[in-house]
A and B are shown apart, each in its own frame.
Chain A
Amino acid sequence: MSPSDAQRPTDIRKISVGGGRIVLNKLAGQIVTFAELSSTYPLKLLSPKVTEDGVAVVYALTYGGGLVGGDRVNLSVEVGAATSLVLLTQGSTKVFKTRPGDRLSSLPTQFPRPAHESTSPTTQIMNFAVAPSAALFLLPEPVTCFRSAAYNQVQTFHLAANASAVILDWFTSGRKSLGEEWVFSRYYSANDIWVEGKRVAKDVMLLEDDPVDASPLPRRQLRDKLAPYACFATTFLFGPLVQPAIKKLSCRYETIQVFKCTAPDKLIWSLSLVDDGAGAIVRTAGLEPEDVKMWLKEALRDVEELIGVDTYRRAFA
């Protein structure tokens, strides 16, 4: 998709099921305002008041706190020049194969579910256009896929000159409290990042509960190859506002010295610079989602002053 597609204004009445649109602009001074903030079932967008100058916060919520097979969310976001948008979720994005407790007779008639819901995947498509000197902070809670759930997430980011972005994309092994660990059927996440019309990174992660049969070798299940960790996070950092954060993390990374370990650490991370050092990709894995969250909260501390203490606390609550 070209940047102009992402920036083309959409008529609000044309938003289809699961659609959403956020357009943030700057008025005189430090006042930011939503030219558009609209969504349709099952997506819901809420914007709490924030005190930080030039910063707006939007919560992307789903009815019932989760998504089911067949659900399609299509969110389009424009972050206007010299504004900052923080996009959060409330609690992890839970992906069910089917809506719990749903029976045909109990379906709300105003929201008929597609008949194929139990077999088709849940899909979230998000397109972001970040204008010059603007910043996007995409800091959701992790995605948690429940037993047999199938999930696709495709995010595209178009950053203009001097635009910045912090993009967090993470997932957990499932509903551990119920003994569900890596028992979803599919998790697909693509992050396609463009800066000034040039692609700088395209990360596509695919986890499928579908090991090949290479008998006599044992089948490798997801839990075999991801053990001992239950949470994986990828953070993309791009643009001038996050240079101090990249620099600090790089320095910290370079001081690590790995000697022979007898067992894996409880948390592990890696950092790779891309786009001649203008961007960084940080990957983190931890025994528990909470371990990863605490690590991220500390590692991304420089973001706090960009979005305000309260908002930062909400992001990593």
Chain B
Amino acid sequence: MEGDDETYILLLLSDSNLPTGSFVASAGFESYLKHGFPAGSNSRSSETRTIAFIQDSLETYARSALPFVSDAHRAVHEFKRSIDATSEDTDASLSMEELLHSLSTLDQLYHDMTLNHPARRASTAQGVALLTLFTKGFSAPPSLKASLQPNKRAISINTVVDKFKTMIRREETQGHLPICWGLLTGTLNLSLERSQYLHLFLHARSLLSASVRLNEVGPYGAQQLLLHAVRPLVEAETSRCRNKKTGILDEEFDELNAGPATTWPLGEILAGRHDLQHSRIFNS
């Protein structure tokens, strides 16, 4: 049953109609093309341009964001375990404060490490949209509320999401996408492995839809790439970065080899120049 629940959640989250704001983000792809990249691209097809960008973008995104997804998910998992371990009448507010503290510390570090402003802007916009999706799109519908009784664990975790949203509204924390994704998928009981994989898959897929909107590839071409090019890439990058951490939840931490990092300095510059484009259709 657990597996069926997870599969159903996976289907919901991979729906391309989810209102997460990713359709206005190109993660620097629009700027990359506008600036005449990749170098020597006149001799290349628009399809190879799209593939090259997805490869470089996914590599740097996996190494810089996945550690935050993983740690946010782990923190939620720890919280759920502590709730399950306590008796019905124990006050959960202490571990709740701990979880909120971990999440906002992760959020602040991601903010301090995400230094180009269009990327910061896109990340917080999508993070907040995800949490809104959770509270508005995953709560019980009014007519079924009475027969859908949430358990203690669900009540506590929903409270965490509400409190984190309040912290974002009060500007006490930023609400960056990788942290919100880890929180959301942890809350919905998606396993860490699936959460990591789906996060990178969605990044790659939104680059493909950006490519369609930018007239680089057609909708069928995008579908071909999603099946034959994105799949091995998402698998390879997930497996390379699945054990990377932020260092915030661990006492032993080999930061030089296992910590978050940007791997594409050129991508940083191009993404940072997004707003300088004379005309543009994306927000990042």
CB neighbours (8 Å) of A261 from chain B are: 34-36
Across the interface, A258 reaches (CB within 8 A) one of B38, B117, B259, B277, namely B277
Bound-complex Cα distance A265 to B34 (A):
11
Cβ contacts A188-222/B at 8 Å (1 or 0 each): 10100000000111111111100011111100100
A262 near B: Cβ within 8 Å? Answer: yes
Q: Which of A205, A207, A225 has the most CB of B within 10 A?
A: A225
Cβ B262 vs Cβ A205 within 8 A: yes
Residues in A154-168 with C-beta less than 8 Å from chain B = 154
Using Cβ atoms and an 8 Å threshold, which residues of chain A touch B40?
227-228, 263
A213 to chain B, nearest CB (A): 6
Which chain A residue has the least Cβ–Cβ distance from B38?
A227
**B59 part of interface (Cβ distance < 8 Å):** yes
Contacting pair A206 B263 (CB below 8 A): yes
CA distance A228 to B39 in the complex (A): 6
Nearest A residue to B257, CB-CB: A188
**Chain B hits for A273, CB < 8 A:** 117
A305 contacts the other chain (CB 8 A) = no
Number of A-B contacts (CB under 8 A): 139
The reply to whether the CB of B37 lies closer than 8 angstroms to some CB of chain A is: yes
Residue of B nearest to A257 (CB): B278
The residue of chain A having its C-beta at the shortest distance from the C-beta of B241 within the complex is A212
Chain A residues within an 8 Å CB radius of B228: 216
A-chain residues with CB within 8 Å of residue B237 when the two chains form the complex: 212, 214
Shortest Cβ distance from A283 into B: residue: B269
Q: Which residues does chain B contribute within 8 Å of A265, judged by CB atoms?
A: 35-36
Interface size on A, residues (CB 8 A): 51
Q: Mark A262-296, 1 if CB is under 8 A from B, else 0.
A: 11110011111110000001011100000000000
- Asked if A313 lies at the interface with its beta carbon under 8 angstroms from chain B, I say no
Question: Does B112 sit at the interface, judged by CB under 8 A?
Answer: yes
Bound-complex Cα distance A188 to B276 (A): 29
Q: How far is the CA of A201 from the CA of B120 in the complex (A)?
A: 13
Contact A225 B266, beta carbon cutoff 8 Å? yes
Does A259 sit within 8 A of B, measured CB to CB? Answer: yes
Within 8 A of A (CB), among B260-280: 260-270, 272-273, 276-278
Q: Does B42 contact A (CB under 8 A)?
A: yes
Centre residue among B38, B117, B228, B261 by max chain A CB count within 10 A: B261
Taking CB atoms and an 8 Å cut-off, the chain B residues in 202-259 that contact chain A are 228-229, 232-233, 235-237, 240, 255-256, 259
State A188–B236 Cα separation when bound (angstroms). 22
Task: Kindly report which residue of chain B lies nearest to residue A261, judged by CB atoms.
Answer: B36
In whole angstroms, what is the CA distance A280 to B270 when docked? Answer: 17
A35 at interface (Cβ–Cβ under 8 A)?
Answer: no
| Contact pick for B256, options A188, A226, A262, CB 8 Å | A188
Q: Do A206 and B55 form a contact, CB below 8 Å, given A200-B112, A201-B112, A261-B34?
A: no
Contact code string B174-210 (vs A, CB < 8 Å = 1, else 0): 0000000000000000000000000000000000000
Measured in the bound complex, the distance between the Cα atoms of B233 and A206 in whole Å is: 19
Task: Provide the residues of chain A in CB contact with B268, threshold 8 Å.
Answer: 270, 283
Given contacts A212-B237, A257-B278, A258-B277, contact A204 B36 (CB under 8 A): no
B33 CB → nearest A CB, Å: 8
Contact partners of B140 in chain A: CB under 8 A: none
A215 touches B35 (CB 8 A): no
Residue of A203, A225, A268, A272 near B262 (CB, 8 A) is A203
Which residue of B is nearest A253, CB measured?
Answer: B276
Complex CA gap A202/B64 in Å reads 12
Of the candidates B41, B232, B235, B266, which one forms a contact with A226 in the assembled complex, judged by CB atoms under 8 Å apart? B266
Additional pairs, 14, CB under 8 Å, beyond known A212-B240, A258-B277? A205-B262, A206-B63, A207-B263, A207-B265, A213-B236, A214-B237, A224-B38, A225-B267, A228-B39, A258-B35, A262-B36, A268-B273, A270-B269, A270-B270
> Which residues of A approach B to under 8 Å, CB–CB?
152, 154, 188, 190, 199-208, 212-217, 220, 224-229, 232, 234, 253, 256-265, 268-274, 281, 283-285
Between-chain CB contacts (< 8 Å), 19 pairs: A188-B256, A200-B112, A202-B112, A204-B260, A204-B262, A206-B63, A206-B263, A212-B59, A214-B236, A216-B229, A220-B52, A225-B266, A253-B276, A257-B277, A258-B278, A263-B42, A268-B273, A272-B115, A283-B268
Q: Which 5 A-B pairs have the closest CB atoms?
A: A270-B272, A261-B36, A206-B261, A212-B236, A228-B39
